[in-house]
A and B are shown apart, each in its own frame.
Chain A
Amino acid sequence: MEIVYVYVKKRSEFGKQCNFSDRQAELNIDISPNPELSSLYVERNPVDTGIQCSTSMSEHEANTERFEMESCGVNHIEGGWPKDVNPLELEQTIRFRKKVEKDENYINTVMQLGSIMEHCIKQNNAIDIYEEYFDDEDGVEVTEEAPSAKTINVFRDPQEIKRTATHLSWHPDGNRKLAVAYSCLNFQRAPMGMSYESYIWDLENPNRPEIALKPSSPLITLEYNPKDSHVLLGGCYNGQIACWDTRKGSLVAELSTIEFSHRDPVYGTIWLQSKTGTECFSASTDGQVMWWDIRKISEPTEVVIMDISRKEQLENALGAISLEFESTLPTKFMVGTEQGIVISCNRKAKTSAEKIVCTFSGHHGPIYALQRNPFYPKNFLTVGDWTARIWSEDSRESSIMWTRYHMSYLSDGAWSPVRPAVFFTTKMDGTLDIWDLVFKQCDPALSLKVCDEALFCLRVQDTGCLIACGSQLGTTTLLEVSSSLSTLQRNEKNIASSMFERETRREKILEARHREMRLKEKGKAEGKDDDQRDEEAALNLEELVTKAEQEFFDVIFSELKKKEAEALKKKPKPKKASVETDGGEEMLGEVIGEEEDTGEDVGGEEREDVST
């Protein structure tokens, strides 16, 4: 279809001026759409086209003329001699130079510059300012950041009836899991319906425990096997030992028979370093320490009774409340008792009596924690009553270092595995103390209030950065310590070891002195046949008190009588008599003072009692 418009114009009208005028619109062509044509096409839906809203530009290259470049150095051979002087002619140059030197300006300039220059030369000779002053000291001083710790995570007991978290154990590989033992330690006051379950938590998930362990009696202690990370050992409230394999499920895999187990709750269980990795031992307040082999758990392989009189009497035995075993000293182990005594024992002794090597007493209450220093195994930490004490195996009479008495009972303690001078303690008021012996010895370096209820147990992860503590309501808090507390400072090992040695020496000296004094006393007592002397040596307190009182009053009365006699001799006026008696009383006061000054030490003490 062609669209055609015919434009007709007369020849005479060519070149005529155009007169434009308005005209109505005319419809020239009307082409209606032909729907049949659409059959020739296929609809494309959707249509994908690129659209850009920008100015359209074009690219064009042009080649410029080549520019030659060359790199070369400039060598200055001879100065800018004036034109008349030929630099090669020696005479001319000398003449020129001489001329310049005669110039006054030259002279003045050189004098001036010379003085400045001399100053700098002398300066250089006096001090070498670019000298390395601190070559010997390597590195910058460690930035002193204040020790700090922050809570990372909190794991709450999902049970409704809250139980105390009594023991924590970190997973041996990678420390990603934490096993917590829950039980109620109040004697016969466990609430009805309290669940016996203990949990293994994954650190990433604080909402739900990963695995629940179901014993027949609540677990007091729980330990991962360091050789096999699927096996756990638990000590029960009823005295049995139970063993779990996490691959097999949450029910007990092995359980000791109740006849041969402990009679009291099992407070300490530790795995032993053995080739089979199945040996462990446990301690309980019934005074027995038992060795077990997991494969045959129905009976203990060995039993030792904690009787310090070495008579193997169960009635005399001390209840064990904490157990310590260091794999580097495989034959020795230590037991902390309820009576505040630490018993050091040797497993390989031939007779049972020799098993108990020595005792250390110093606490007033049960020893809740006992651990050797991972760097210096001769020193160990005990935590009990209101103090934490550090002992040395050499000094048996007393601890070498101790903290002051705190306001609340200490419940658990542990050394840091990376720093020999750092240890942690938890208290019954919910605070966690971090002690740094290199920094300060009388106060904790950091004291944190972890929760409002009492904290019962504490466990440090092997890297030394993370600490887990369990509280009375079953809440386990995970804390991270600042790097200054978890990285070994330079010289720290030396400082810590010298500190321990120094304190041990001090204690030894004191011990020696005590021994001397005791020997002297004994010597005196043995030397005399006098019975009275013997009685005095026996140090009966009551007798001494009455004796001292007697002597005191005797002396006073004799003085008084003397004064009265003198007063009677002179001519007494009634007033004077009273004055004299007053004076006598005053004299009495003075005499008393004198008596106190001259009194013996023992007598003096008694006198103080009398006066109060």
Chain B
Amino acid sequence: MTEVEETLKRIQSHKGVIGTMVVNAEGIPIRTTLDNSTTVQYAGLLHQLTMKAKSTVRDIDPQNDMTFLRIRSKKHEIMVAPDKEYLLIVIQNPCE
């Protein structure tokens, strides 16, 4: 468990990272560094989006699978690493 803590702490300490969260398959945020309401919003919306993106990739080529999702917006970049059961979401501000 400490490794998990370390990993998440390390990720959070990178330059430009605004927030990190781990969400389970039902959309429940397990671990988060942001406040509850924001987390819940991110969790719910990104979960649906990830599912949709995954199914899109699968539809185009059934052999294929989605490994990573990056949404770049004007203010920051949202990165989603999907797994069968959990989602790791990081919000980073990449501008130098």
Contacts and interface: CB of A to CB of B under 8 A. Distances in A.
Interface of A: 76-82, 96-97, 100-102, 105-107, 109-118, 120-122, 124-125, 128, 130
B1 interface: yes
Contact of A120 (B7, B24, B70, B86): B70
Interface of B: 1, 3-4, 7-8, 10-11, 14-17, 22-24, 26-31, 40-41, 43-45, 67-68, 70, 72, 77, 79, 81, 83-86, 88, 90, 92, 94-96
A110 B94 contact: no
A100 B72 CA distance: 30
B3 A111 contact: yes
B79 A117 contact: yes
Contacts of B23: 79
Contacts of A82: 26
Given A110-B7, A118-B11, A79 B86 contact: no
B15 to A, nearest CB: 5
Given A79-B40, A113-B81, A106 B15 contact: no
Contacts of B24: 100
A571 B5 CA distance: 116
B4 A107 contact: yes
Nearest to A87: B28
Nearest to B26: A80
A293 to B, nearest CB: 73
B29 A124 contact: no
* Interface class of chain B by DSSP: mixed
A124 B96 CA distance: 10
A221 B45 CA distance: 84
B4 A110 contact: yes
B69 to A, nearest CB: 10
B28 A80 contact: yes
A102 B1 contact: yes
A120 B79 contact: yes
B88 A114 contact: yes
A536 B94 CA distance: 85
Contacts of B4: 101, 106-107, 110-111
A121 B68 contact: no
Contacts of B44: 76, 79
Nearest to B84: A109
A80 B90 contact: no
Contacts of B92: 121, 124
Given A101-B31, A112-B83, A117 B90 contact: yes
A116 B7 CA distance: 11
Given A111-B3, A124-B94, A106 B14 contact: no
Contact of B8 (A100, A110, A121): A110
Given A111-B7, A113-B86, A128-B95, 4 more contacts: A109-B83, A122-B14, A124-B16, A128-B94
A116 B28 CA distance: 22
Given A107-B1, A124-B16, A77 B40 contact: yes
A109 B82 CA distance: 9
Contacts of B79: 117, 120-121
A137 B31 CA distance: 47
Q: Which of B67, B68, B81, B88 has the most CB of A within 10 A?
A: B81
